[in-house]
Amino acid sequence: MDSVNLEVLKASIRWIDAGHRVLLVTVVKTWGSSPRPEGSMLVVRDDGVVAGSVSGGCIEDDLIDRVRRHGVVDQKPQSVRYGISADEAHRFGLPCGGTIELVLEPLADARGLAALCQRVEAGELVARTLDMTTGVALLSAARTTDGVAFDGRRFVTIHGPRYRLLVIGAGQLSRYLCQIAAGLDYQVTVCDPRDEYTDVWDVPGTRLVRTMPDDTVLDMKLDERCAVIALTHDPKLDDLALMEALKTPAFYVGALGSRRNNAARRERLKEFDLSEAELARLHGPAGIYIGSRTPPEIAVSILAEVTAAKNGVALPAMAQVAAAKAARDIGASAGALCAA
């Protein structure tokens, strides 16, 4: 679940508790290009105040104008489409040919949303099924493969962390990386058996375990919606995690380190009965090349690469740290020769 959506639900609860009616708006389906994906949420208060987003702004403006003129008077949910014609698509800031379908849900009771938020914040993946005829919404357990579904009578949305991230090491870089990852809606587990690091770990929204990394990987039963990043610089810890993680379907397995350390790591991992195909899955040095030097910048670099892998985007070689630095070194050498 998008963390922005969680903020939308919390804003809805606050406003309802303060005596307002609200209109909860959710993207059901898009055709062509769309500024926001399916499941994105917006809430409009009965005085026109909003939280969240379902488009680039023009659709929000139309919904706000509707609420300001008429209030939140409907009792039952309804679906609407924007951008059916080229003129309408242009008016609402949708790309050429873009169409977006929304469900508009009037709310005056916050109890259901409060229960949903409570379960999401407890780390659960929850399906919310809205009956379009009665306006009644029910909560149930969901699977990571479930998605938004709408048949005109029932509207199902999925809320909670769909992806898991295992970080090896509880050092300074891990703090920044985990904070950003939590904002990206990962269920974050930090593994470090070293007391000197774990005793001071206090990053909200993360789970800390002190078990050995290889045991942690096995216990988590990593699937194709998992990522593993080794950040300790200690082969006794990083290698243990990597040798097991590379055998799993995890969509990303990476390790921090220089190009020289990465080459040495690959040689060590060959001793753990890993195939060439499994070794080829290792992202190392982890991250994309953005000239990062500080821990926050390095965290951004690594999570940019993780995000690309999650979204199925193949990065060009020159965006990867090893290739970019090698090209930089070649360019520097050539420049020095020319100067000589």
155/167 same-domain check: no
Average pLDDT along the chain: 88
Positive or negative, the CA dihedral 113, 119, 121, 127 is negative
Lowest mean pLDDT among 12-16, 248-252, 329-333: 329-333
Lowest mean pLDDT among 89-98, 103-112, 313-322: 89-98
CATH code (residue 257):
3.40.50.720
pLDDT band at 84 (very low <50, low <70, confident <90, very high): low
152/180 same-domain check: no
Domain assignment present for residue 257? The answer is yes
Collapsed DSSP state (helix, strand, coil) of residue 231: coil
**Considering only CA atoms, which of 249, 244, 248 is closest in space to residue 230?**
244
pLDDT digits (tens, 9 = 90+) for 43-72: 999 999 999 998 866 789 889 999 999 999
114/249 same-domain check: no
Domain assignment present for residue 336? The answer is no
Q: What is the pLDDT of residue 317?
A: 79
Domain assignment present for residue 337? The answer is no
Residue indicated by tokens 């990062």: 292
Domain assignment present for residue 335? The answer is no
146/197 same-domain check: no
Pairing of strands 186-191, 99-107: unpaired
pLDDT band at 335 (very low <50, low <70, confident <90, very high): low
Residues in the chain: 340
Q: What is the pLDDT of residue 49?
A: 95
113/101 same-domain check: yes
**Considering only CA atoms, which of 299, 291, 293, 240 is closest in space to residue 265?**
240
Q: How far apart are CA 283 and CA 302, in angstroms?
A: 10
70/174 same-domain check: no
Q: How far apart are CA 249 and CA 52, in angstroms?
A: 34
Domain assignment present for residue 328? The answer is no
Q: What is the pLDDT of residue 30?
A: 86
Q: Is residue 22 within 8 Å of 72, Cβ to Cβ?
A: yes
Domain assignment present for residue 244? The answer is yes
Q: How far apart are CA 103 and CA 295, in angstroms?
A: 42
At residue 41, does pLDDT exceed 70? yes
Q: Give me the domain span that covers residue 75.
A: 3-159
138/23 same-domain check: yes
pLDDT digits (tens, 9 = 90+) for 214-270: 999 999 999 888 999 999 999 999 999 999 999 999 999 999 988 899 999 999 999
Q: How far apart are CA 329 and CA 340, in angstroms?
A: 17
**Considering only CA atoms, which of 105, 111, 59 is closest in space to residue 82?**
59
Q: Which of 159, 189, 214 is the last residue of a domain?
A: 159
Domain assignment present for residue 295? The answer is yes
Q: Which of 159, 182, 214 is the last residue of a domain?
A: 159
Looking at per-residue pLDDT, the higher value among 86 and 152 belongs to: 152
Q: What is the pLDDT of residue 92?
A: 56
Q: What is the pLDDT of residue 86?
A: 57
139/190 same-domain check: no
Q: What is the pLDDT of residue 136?
A: 96
120/230 same-domain check: no
134/245 same-domain check: no
Domain assignment present for residue 75? The answer is yes
281/303 same-domain check: yes
Structurally, how many domains does the chain consist of?
Answer: 2
Residue indicated by tokens 């898009």: 30
Q: What is the pLDDT of residue 267?
A: 92
308/170 same-domain check: yes
User: What is the percent of the chain with per-residue pLDDT over 70, rounded to a whole number?
Assistant: 89
- The amino acid occupying position 31 is W
Q: What is the pLDDT of residue 295?
A: 96
pLDDT digits (tens, 9 = 90+) for 111-145: 999 999 999 888 788 999 999 999 999 999 998 77
Q: What is the pLDDT of residue 121?
A: 83
Q: What is the pLDDT of residue 205?
A: 83
Q: Which of 134, 159, 184 is the last residue of a domain?
A: 159
pLDDT digits (tens, 9 = 90+) for 276-329: 999 999 999 999 999 999 999 999 999 999 999 999 999 887 777 777 777 666
